[in-house]
Every structure is written in C-alpha cells, then in structure tokens.
Amino acid sequence: MTDVVKKFEPLFEPKSIAFIGASRNPLKWGYQIPSNLIEFGYNGNVYPVNPHESDLFKLKVYRSIDEIPEQPIDLAVATVPSRLILEVVKDCAQAGVRALIVIAAGFGELGGEGAGKEAEMARIARDSGMLLVGPNCAGVVSPEPRNLYCQMPPVKTSPGCIAMASQSGNIGKTIQDLATKYHVGISRLVSTGNEAFLHMEDYLEYFGEDTRTKVVASYVEGVDDGRRFLNIARDVSRKKPVVVLKVGRTQAGQRAAKSHTGALAGSREIFHGACRQAGLTEVADVEELFDTITAFARQPIPRGRRVGIVSEGGGWGVLAADACAEFGLEVVDLPEHVLKQLDSFLPSWWSRGNPVDLVGGMVDQGVAKCAEALLACDEVDGVIALGVAFLARQAAEYRRRAASGTSKLASPALYEQIADIAIQRDLEWIGELVKLIDRYQKPMVIAADTVFTAYEDKNEALFALMGEGVMVYPTPRRAARAFAHLVERHEYLASVGAV
C-alpha cells in the first residue's frame, strides 16, 4: 500500500464513523446522512454524537467525540451549523480523528469572517495530521469494501471502476443518477466542497494509485494552485484516463462559480492548453462527462481515428456518419476484401459502403457478423454499432398485450411466446458483441434508441450489455463523441511514448 493510499484509507474505507450533530429530525443532515449510511448497509461501527440525545438510529449516543470507547475514530462527519464548526474541528483533532467531513456551508464562499474560519479549520487539520473534506460539501461514497454511502442524496450506486471528485455535490449526485439509470458502477465519489484543506489534486493523486479505480472523473470550478493541480493530473493521466468537466468557461459561468464555492476560475484558454499538455480529457457538459467515463471504463483504446459503422437503420447510419466526421473521426472506405466478405451474408442490394446498413435488421446475427468483419480489418480502428436490441420494442409491446389480456388478435400465451423469441434473439446477438470487444481488443461503441424506454420495459438484452459494463448510448452522436474521446486518449499516450 502506497503512502497516498494509506493516507486516504480512513476516508474511503473507514472502520468507524462518528456523526457529530446526529439528529432525530428527518429533514436534517444529521438524520439523513447516518440513516442512509445505515440503511445501505455500511460495514463498520457507527457512533452518533449529540449531547442532548441518548439513542438515535437504535444506537447509543455519545455526548462528545472523546467519550466514544473506540479510539481513534477513522471518520467523523460534522452536520452541525457553521457557527459551531470550529469547536468540532478542534475536538476531532484532539481526539485523534483521522478524517473529518464538514457538511455545512457559510465559509470561504462568503468571504470575510467565513473565509477566516475556513483558514482556521484548515490550519487545525494540517497541524494535527487530520484529513479534512469540505466544508460546504455533500459527503463521500465508496461501495467497496465497506458499503460506504455517507452522503445526503439517498442513492445506492453499485460498485465499479469509476472514481469522481466533484466541486459540486449536485453534480456528483447527477453522475450517481446517471450511473443508477444506466447500471454503471463507481469506485469512489467525493464532494470536495470549498477545499479548505484537501484539494481536487489530492483526490486525483489518490485515485491514480487506488487499485479499485480505472477511470477518473473531475468536476472543477477552480483550482487554488494550478501548477500543483496540473503536475499531479499529468502523473495520473499517464496511468489512467482523467476526464475533466471544467466550468466557469464564460464570464457568466465564472460569476456563478465564484458565488457557489468561492472558486476563482482562470482563463479558459490557459486551462484548456494546460489540460491538453497534461493529457486530460476535457468535456463541456455533465452528459458528455458520463458518456466519456463509461466509454473508458469498458472499451479498449483504439489505435486511430478510422471507424466502421454498422447500423440496423439507414437514418441512424447517416446521423452517425455526420457525427463522426464532425468529431474528427474518419468513416473509412472499406477495403474490397471486407466488402466481399459482407456480400456473402448481406442481401444483394446492400449499400456496399460504410456505414454498413443492415436494412432493418433482416439478417440473422447481422450486427455481430458485420461488426466482426469490420473489427478484423486492419484498416478499421473500432466500430460504432447502432440499433442493437431492436426487437426489444416488439417484445415490450407484445408483453403489454399479453398482460392486458384484451388483444383482439391473439392469445396472451401467443404474444408471450413471440416476445420470448424476440428477446432470446436479441440476447444471443448481444452476447456475441461483448465477446468481439474482448477478442479483437478494439472498441465497439454501441447506441440504441430502445434505451429510451428500456427501463420501463425491463429490456433484458440491453440490461445484459450493461451488466457486462458496456454503456449503450441513446444516440449515434453521443456514441461518436465518446469514440472520439477514446481516440484522443490514444493520441496523447502515443505523444508521450506510453503506447
């Protein structure tokens, strides 16, 4: 275990947690955070602290942190109001608490007296060797190894390989919502708040060394020490993709960021140039952030910009071709031997070009066979596959008809039977696709409009893909953008001699 990993152990893998300001009022942080933690099955010891209560959450309550018999405490979470915070920080430092999260706002972002208090809490933490997260933050999540969901939003994201440090609790929560929706897992999530003591780059450094983390995400409003941030970010990005959503790109955004966390956003151009040099992947939006980290989480890095497109429908193929070109990808001319191979199983009137249009999926195993022909070709660096699991729409509707029992045409049993056949076919194709990604070690980025309703319909085929960690994008454009970010990563790694 490296020093950095050891340093962050009490924050992301705590064996004990104290809640200072624990409360019985369900509207308060002091209720919501510990109750989420307990309900989601945290595997460790929980100690509520409140001088006016005797039992909370079916646990004994302690009057102060130093009365807890287990010492030292790995992690303390302070949910008391800002005026009481300095006392709490002192008490925790004195009791030897190893990491402290301060939830309350009302410090550096207000300037003046608030900023003074924030500097003071940082000083205490530094002097005592206690990690300090926040203030003005939402908490921390680490599904493994201890089921740690220590935050305000009651969202139980599943375990995975994506770590995120966010200067907004709000944005961290959005990523969790997206992850939940698309069945994507995370390794760590921390809401960094005002960063009185621990800064964005400290978390990035940890993620770089954390063996549970393969992909790093960061939402940045501003950084105090640009040089340190970039030095660390550069080191991390040699090892793992680091995807940064930087805001304050405009004057309006800078003003908003300043009032939010007191961040002073620097010039857009300088930050952009520095990011490029450090090998960071920049994104403009929270959906683009999610689309990009999920691509990195599962897809191999392509060796170039040459894309083959396979589409179940003509329109989506055209959208993808435009989007690829607009994102700087090359919709490559397929060599004659690949065209001939495709001729052998596509209908005679197929378009003999890229995109490969399956003309409404009339070909059995069509997507997988075409995708394999493209992946096997040296002139193709990766594939965008569109419209997989298209029988899902039929299956869902047939099941609705079966369940309603009001069909005018067929028995519920017959509709169930057709639906099962459709799902079974989708599932077979999906299984093939996942194998191809691993066999050829080239990316196959997938989009399907059936994801729009996949959740209500409990689409087994798309769920199967997601279960394998393969993100299914809702549009060709978003798939192409994700592919382009994979290519940028290859080009960066090549530029520094790392591939």
- Distance (Å, rounded) from C-alpha 324 to C-alpha 307? 8
Bridge partners, 188 (sequence order): 163
Residue 196 or residue 437: which is nearer to its own copies going by CB?
196
Residue indicated by tokens 């019985």 = 24
Residue 50 or residue 174: which is nearer to its own copies going by CB?
174
Q: Among positive and negative, which fits the CA dihedral 233, 234, 239, 245?
A: positive
Region of 86-94, 231-239, 347-355, 484-492 interacting with its own copies (CB under 8 A): 347-355
Residue 97 or residue 324: which is nearer to its own copies going by CB?
324
Region of 10-18, 70-78, 242-250, 295-303 interacting with its own copies (CB under 8 A): 242-250
Region of 5-13, 104-112, 207-215, 233-241 interacting with its own copies (CB under 8 A): 104-112
Interface residue with its own copies, options 3, 69, 252, 413 (CB under 8 A): 252
Residue 400 or residue 439: which is nearer to its own copies going by CB?
400
Residue 10 or residue 262: which is nearer to its own copies going by CB?
262
> Residue 461 phi/psi, 5° resolution?
-70, -45
Interface residue with its own copies, options 344, 409, 413, 438 (CB under 8 A): 409
Residue 250 or residue 424: which is nearer to its own copies going by CB?
250
The least CB distance from residue 435 to its own copies, in Å, is: 26
What kind and span of H or E run contains 310?
strand 306-311
Judge contact between 266 and 303, C-beta under 8 A.
no
Decide if residue 253 touches its own copies (CB under 8 A): yes
Interface residue with its own copies, options 67, 326, 364, 420 (CB under 8 A): 326
Q: Which residues from 469-498 bind its own copies, rule CB under 8 A?
A: 474-478
- DSSP 3-state of 100: strand
The least CB distance from residue 480 to its own copies, in Å, is: 10
Interface residue with its own copies, options 49, 99, 105, 130 (CB under 8 A): 105
Parallel, antiparallel, or unpaired for β 186-191 and 215-220?
unpaired
Q: Among positive and negative, which fits the CA dihedral 56, 92, 168, 175?
A: negative
HEC readout, 326-394: HCCCEECCCCHHHHHHHHCCCCCCCCCCCCEECCCCCCCCHHHHHHHHHHCCCCCCEEEEECCCCHHHH
Decide if residue 26 touches its own copies (CB under 8 A): yes
Decide if residue 328 touches its own copies (CB under 8 A): no
The least CB distance from residue 154 to its own copies, in Å, is: 4
Residue 84 or residue 498: which is nearer to its own copies going by CB?
84
Bridge partners, 45 (sequence order): 16
- DSSP 3-state of 176: helix
Residue 463 or residue 493: which is nearer to its own copies going by CB?
463
> Residue 244 phi/psi, 5° resolution?
-115, 125
Shortest CA distance to 303 belongs to which of 377, 241, 381?
381
Q: Which residues from 444-463 bind its own copies, rule CB under 8 A?
A: 449-450, 452-453, 455-456
Q: Which residues contact 232 (CB under 8 A, 6 or more apart)?
A: 201, 202, 204, 205, 208
What does the per-residue mask of binding to its own copies show for 207-236, with x meaning CB under 8 A?
A: ------------x-x---------------
- Distance (Å, rounded) from C-alpha 440 to C-alpha 382? 9
Residue 325 or residue 499: which is nearer to its own copies going by CB?
325
Interface residue with its own copies, options 255, 340, 435, 439 (CB under 8 A): 255
Interface residue with its own copies, options 401, 442, 485, 489 (CB under 8 A): 401
Residue 139 or residue 279: which is nearer to its own copies going by CB?
139
Q: Which residues from 281-320 bind its own copies, rule CB under 8 A?
A: 284-287, 309, 312-320
Q: Which two tokens stand for residue 262?
A: 């007191």
- DSSP 3-state of 248: coil
Each as own residue / partner, the long-range contacts of residues 348-356 (CB below 8 Å, 24 or more positions apart, any chain) are: 354/308, 354/309, 354/321, 355/309, 355/310, 355/311, 355/317, 355/318, 355/320, 355/321, 355/331, 355/386, 356/308, 356/309, 356/310, 356/311, 356/317
Q: Which residues from 157-186 bind its own copies, rule CB under 8 A?
A: 166-171, 173-174, 177-178, 180-181
Residue indicated by tokens 């287990």 = 70
What does the per-residue mask of binding to its own copies show for 352-381, with x meaning CB under 8 A?
A: xx-x-x-x----------------------
- What does the chain come to in residues? 499
What does the per-residue mask of binding to its own copies show for 63-102, with x meaning CB under 8 A?
A: ----------------------------------------
